[in-house]
Structure 1
Amino acid sequence: MSELSINTTQNVNINFTAASVGERILASFLDLLIKAAYGIVVFYIFFYWIGLSDKMAEMDYWSAVAITIIIYFPVLIYSITLESIFEGQTFGKKIVKIKVVKIDGYQAGFGDYLIRWIFRVIEKNSIFILIGIIAMAVNKKVQRIGDMAAGTAVITLKNSITINHTILEELGSEYVPTYPAVIKLSDNDIRIIKDTFDVARTNGDFETISKLCRKIEAVTGIKSQSKIESDFIRIIIKDYNFYTRNM
């Protein structure tokens, strides 16, 4: 598998393992099976059980097309909807344990998933499918065309050292959290915060620590109760561990 080095906006390198072409194809195949199962169930309910096909035969062409599109619309928006809900994963990706991330180290957003979805529709053309597979095979980040356009990559979560391993903090049984709103952050956010903080503290880069504090406050809506910015970041990391372990 290819090593994927993500450089954050704070100039911190985070190393992941890029998902292989085989893993991505397997995840896509599993998603295809799920969509096919939906199509079969819907066809049975609407066209066999309810008898919608007979009613559609009496309609004009465009009305029949519109009804068909509405019925099968969930299949069309399957990937963009699930990736937005599950932060870069569809059911197929969850099973294979791979995930979409931004190559700048931040969590991908709806706009990124939208770009990938648009290109996925294009890449379903027989010619572009081959181009997409070739692009993943020769690209060191294993990116398809949609990933390149969106600035994303797909990583495997089956690393010997996972995201969760890097953010764990020892908490005593008497630990009392300070900031409940910390759960607005994701594992990926906390990893970036922790890695950035560790590097900045080692280098004595107080400007980066200050910027990191402001960024945390802006994203979460939390107002620091600590006079020392380093203490605020330490509490954020510990609180996140506390709440995610007890969810």
Structure 2
Amino acid sequence: MKTLQINTTQNVRINFELANVGQRLLAFILDNVVKLAYIYLIIEVFDFSLIRDATDGDGWSIKAIDILMFLPITFYSLYSEILMNGQTLGKRILKLRVINIEGFKPSSGDYVIRWFLRMVDFNLFMLLFVYFYSMGYANSYFFLIYMIFLIGKTIGFFMIVFTKKNQRVGDMAANTVVVSLKDEASFSKTILENIKEDYKPIYANVIKLSDNDARIIKDTYVRARNKKDYNTLIKLRVKIEEVTDVKKPKETTDLDFIATILKDFNFYTKD
């Protein structure tokens, strides 16, 4: 089983279990079940004859509507991973997640790169299918589309099997990997703060911080607290105030203020 080792700024080593090709393939199949269910629902629910009548048989309008119908499945993995913190429905069921190779949460740009490069090793079939379908060629070119589908899946399959970190082309370009969340002990080490279910956040502006900002804050906070380095805590608190536009209450210590910032960040960014 391949693993990814990450060193935090506190020199703590965290090992993530990389998702293998079988796990990713099964997640892919589950996601495609969702896509096929959507297509079936669209075909069964919408009366396309009414749409054609409404457009007076205009070919371009009909094709535009066909493409619009397929947009949700074309962008499915992109908006799913952005909204579900690196997961699609298939990944969530199998407890898989996309993370940055340094252990951080990928940016929206990273997710876009992963999605766009699926045309190289996974979704070329889907893009061409949408095109051929919109042009009315789906039945005529079925064999060609099927071969493109197989080639696309084969490229992605072998990339995941033979690359060091189980990465396809999109992962390499975006500096991301897919990890298993089954090893909760290792994964929990990246959690910024443990909070109770009934925790009430105080500072909503903490969402201005990035994941990387929060990790740096926590690492600096822990080191300064352990060494009783109050000058560093003051500098850290001032920097947090500048970035978040939050002011520390006079009755609150720097230690308590920063600890609350970390808890609030965890509250607002948790799944």
Matching of residues 19-38 of structure 1 within 5 Å: 19-38=19-38
TM-score of the superposition, structure 2-length normalised?
0.68
| TM-score (ref. length: structure 1) | 0.74
Q: How far apart, in 2, do the equivalents of 1:122 and 1:21 lie?
A: 17
Shift of 1:195: 5.1
Deviations 1:29-61 (A, max 9, x none): 111001110100101122xx4524753996344
**Structure 2 equivalent of residue 137 of structure 1:** 161
Q: 3-state DSSP class of the match of 1:161? A: helix
Query: Percent identity among equivalent residues?
Result: 43
What is the letter of the counterpart of residue 118 of structure 1?
Answer: F
1:161 aligns with 2:185: yes
Runs of 5+ in structure 1 lacking a partner?
none
- Structure 1 pair 161–61 and aligned structure 2 pair: CA distance change class (3 A): same
Give the alignment's Cα RMSD to 1 decimal: 4.0
Matches within 5 A, 1:1-247: 1-7=1-7, 13-46=13-46, 49=47, 51-52=49-50, 55=53, 59-124=57-122, 125=124, 126-161=150-185, 163-164=187-188, 166-169=191-194, 179-182=203-206, 193-194=217-218, 197-198=221-222, 216-217=240-241, 220-225=244-249, 231-239=256-264, 243=267
C-alpha distance 200-10 of structure 1, shift in aligned 2 (>3 A): same
In structure 2, list runs of 5 or more residues that go unmatched: 125-149
Distance 1:214 1:103 in 2: 30
Is residue 2–residue 18 contact of structure 2 (8 Å, CA) maintained in 1? yes
Q: Secondary structure at the match of 2:68?
A: helix
Partners of 1:95 and 1:54 in 2: CA distance: 39
User: For the Cα contact (< 8 Å) 1:179–1:236, is it kept in 2?
Assistant: yes
| Cα distance change on mapping 1:153 and 1:181 into 2, 3 Å | same
> 1: CA distance between counterparts of 2:5 and 2:162?
17
Contact 2:18–2:177 (CA under 8 A) maintained in structure 1 = yes
The total of aligned residue pairs comes to: 240
State the shift of 1:168 in Å: 5.0
Q: Give me the whole-angstrom Cα distance separating, in 1, the residues matched to 2:176 and 2:207.
A: 24
State the one-letter code of the partner of 2:17: T
Give the CA deviation at 1:62: 2.9
The DSSP-based 3-state class of the residue aligned with 2:119 is: helix
CA displacement 1:162-215 (0-9 Å, x = unmatched): 5446545488x9x98653544677989766754564467668999987786567
